[in-house]
Amino acid sequence: MDAQEIQNDIIRKMTPEKKLQMSMRLYYSARNLKAAWLRHLHSDWSEEQVQKAVTDIFAHARS
Count of CB atoms within 10 A of residue 10's CB? 9
In this predicted structure, what is the pLDDT of residue 53? 98
Reported for 27-32, long-range contacts at CB under 8 A and 24+ positions apart, including other chains, are 30/58, 31/58
- The three-class DSSP label of residue 60 is coil
Contact in structure between 50 and 35 (CB atoms under 8 Å) = yes
Backbone angles phi, psi at 58, to 5 degrees: -75, -30
In this predicted structure, what is the pLDDT of residue 37? 98
Residue 63 has pLDDT above 70, yes or no: no
Contact in structure between 42 and 49 (CB atoms under 8 Å) = yes
User: Tell me: the pLDDT tens digits for 2-60?
Assistant: 999 999 999 999 999 999 999 999 999 999 999 999 999 999 999 999 999 999 999 99
